[in-house]
């Protein structure tokens, strides 16, 4: 009997194309892997209403992410292409920066094709297909978010030239990965890192530990973070249009302001911050992390 491959090693022998992509080989996913996707998605969909932003909730339905089993990138890309011109391409692991930017700038979203093992249903450090496709892909069908992600990719080139890539990385972290947005109905989630995590979906909005600070680009670009735990600080935008600055503004002066400057401590709140929620940080103090 063939051994069932349950993690990223399923692509160990699959050759990488020059742009770092691989063939998803959708037909090779096992019934267990499809079932794991279904369970991850069902439990996440159950807690997202009232927590995820409306654009995201709507997008999951529009794209029919829920038709059952792990999505086939070819079919998903066909739907996405009609809506905003984006497509989803498979990768085996993290894509080096220059390739990542290049893909985004050309409306290709590189998505990890392996699914997390059963032992890591709640937490994993490397982006798998559930994080990338359930978390990131839906909002690519929203015209404004679609433009933002492309503009972000295009910014990579200029940020590198100015020595500001670490700062641009922080920006991505606190928007596309861990962003919150104020809406008339209350604060909501749009960041993929939260939307694909059952624990953090509840933690980010309902736990008194994290700070909720008003989004400010220079501030965000200098904020350090944990990669192995929930976030002590979330930045909150008021409208997706704020993200579109990337498409319309010259960021040169901003990179000059932030590049090479020290990062703010994790969890730090500055006198100049506009604070929506001052976090107790208790969750992190209990764990001895802060």
Binding site for Fe ion (CB under 5 A): 127, 192
H/E stretch holding 111 reads strand 108-112
Nearer to Fe ion, 71 or 127 (CB): 127
Nearer to Fe ion, 192 or 254 (CB): 192
What's the CA angle centered on 35, arms 31 and 37, to 5 degrees?
Answer: 120
Give the nearest distance from C-beta 112 to Fe ion in angstroms: 9
3-class secondary-structure state, position 180: strand
Tokens for 13, please give them: 């022998």
Give the nearest distance from C-beta 7 to Fe ion in angstroms: 18
Nearer to Fe ion, 127 or 210 (CB): 127
Tokens for 52, please give them: 């995820």
What is the four-CA torsion angle of 154, 155, 158, 160, rounded to 10 degrees? -100
Give the nearest distance from C-beta 177 to Fe ion in angstroms: 5
Give the nearest distance from C-beta 136 to Fe ion in angstroms: 6
H/E stretch holding 207 reads none
**Helix/strand/coil (H/E/C) assignment for every residue in 146-173:** HHHHHHHHHHHHHHHHCCCHHHHHHHHH
Nearer to Fe ion, 192 or 258 (CB): 192
Q: Alpha-carbon distance 61 to 56, whole Å?
A: 9
Tokens for 170, please give them: 């922080």
Give the nearest distance from C-beta 13 to Fe ion in angstroms: 25
Give the nearest distance from C-beta 67 to Fe ion in angstroms: 23
Q: Alpha-carbon distance 131 to 52, whole Å?
A: 15
Nearer to Fe ion, 151 or 281 (CB): 151
Nearer to Fe ion, 108 or 162 (CB): 108
Tokens for 228, please give them: 């192995």
């Amino acid at each position: 009997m063939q051994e069932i491959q349950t993690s990223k090693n399923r692509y160990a022998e699959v050759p990488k194309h020059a742009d770092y992509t691989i063939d998803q080989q959708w037909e090779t996913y096992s019934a267990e892997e499809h079932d794991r996707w279904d369970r991850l998605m069902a439990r996440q969909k159950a807690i997202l209403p009232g927590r995820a932003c409306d654009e995201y909730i709507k997008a999951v339905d529009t794209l029919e992410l829920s038709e059952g089993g792990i999505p086939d990138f070819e079919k998903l890309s066909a739907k996405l292409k009609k809506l905003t011109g984006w497509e989803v391409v498979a990768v085996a692991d993290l894509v080096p920066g220059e390739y990542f930017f290049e893909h985004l700038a050309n409306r290709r979203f590189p998505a990890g094709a392996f699914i997390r093992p059963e032992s890591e249903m709640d937490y994993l450090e490397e982006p798998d297909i559930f994080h990338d496709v359930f978390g990131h892909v839906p909002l690519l069908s929203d015209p404004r978010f679609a433009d933002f992600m492309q503009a972000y990719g295009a910014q990579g080139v200029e940020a590198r030239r100015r020595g500001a890539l670490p700062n641009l990385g922080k920006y991505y972290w606190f928007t596309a990965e861990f962003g919150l947005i104020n809406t008339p109905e209350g604060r909501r989630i749009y960041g993929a890192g939260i939307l694909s995590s059952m624990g953090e979906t509840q933690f980010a909005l309902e736990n008194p530990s994290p700070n909720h600070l008003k989004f400010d680009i220079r501030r965000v670009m200098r904020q350090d973070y944990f990669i192995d735990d929930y976030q002590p600080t979330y930045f909150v935008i008021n409208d997706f249009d704020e993200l579109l600055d990337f498409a319309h503004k010259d960021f040169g002066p901003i990179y000059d302001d932030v590049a090479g400057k020290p990062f703010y401590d994790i969890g730090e709140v500055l006198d100049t911050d506009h604070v929506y929620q001052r976090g107790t940080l208790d969750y992190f103090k209990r764990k001895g992390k802060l």
